[in-house]
Amino acid sequence: MRTGHTKRTCGRAAAAVLAASLAFALAGCGSSGSGQDRSRTASTNSSSSVASTGSGGSAASPDGNQVLATIKGPDGIVLTINSAKRDGGGFVTVTGTVKNTGSAPFSQAGSWRGDEEELQKNGGSLAGATLVDTLGKKRYYVLRDTEGRCLCSTGLDIIQPGATMPVFAQFPAPPATTTQVDFDLPTLPTASIVISQ
């Protein structure tokens, strides 16, 4: 009887080890890209931070959209960049969302329009956003029409607590060889994003 009991005990122990090994292996398969997320904090604002998945990587947001970067700004404002795509006409369109996670209305988006006099009529908008090609040493500004209106989201003057708004900004496209750029928006940290075709 002892022999049968020992065999059953060894069999159960082997099954437990096998199950634990299988669970560990499956957990390793669930990571995205290189499995390493990079975070950095900008010196612009001690309470601001940006999380980026690094070059070529992407993480999935809860709604299934790709997330290129999450930028945390002052007063609970969070800008999430979901895509940066080249268009056939030689443009790059950056899309995402702005969410107010704070407890008070966010009214600082007026400073996102930038300092240029021509852009002042855009109000709360992404008119001051730029893409920076650090390798090519070139900065790309948001496109605008002949009246000075930006090809970007406007109407961001007041963002209520808990509100989420879709946003976009369109830029001239960097050379096809440029696949990674820095996204800059006044008062927020810089985020490195990858341009897709």
The reply to whether 74 and 166 lie within a common domain is yes
The reply to whether 60 and 87 lie within a common domain is yes
pLDDT per position as a tens digit, 24-41: 333 333 333 333 333 333
pLDDT per position as a tens digit, 50-69: 554 443 444 444 444 799 99
Q: Does the CA dihedral 115-118-124-125 come out positive or negative?
A: negative
**Per-residue pLDDT at 119:** 72
Instruction: Look up the domain containing 113 and give its range.
Output: 38-194
Residue 191 to residue 54: CA distance in whole angstroms: 10
Residue 181 to residue 118: CA distance in whole angstroms: 25
Average of per-residue pLDDT across 131-149:
92
The reply to whether 16 and 59 lie within a common domain is no
The reply to whether 22 and 118 lie within a common domain is no
Residue 172 to residue 191: CA distance in whole angstroms: 18
Residue 129 to residue 131: CA distance in whole angstroms: 7
The reply to whether 26 and 108 lie within a common domain is no
The reply to whether 114 and 137 lie within a common domain is yes
Residue 129 to residue 113: CA distance in whole angstroms: 7
Split into its structural domains, the chain has a count of 2
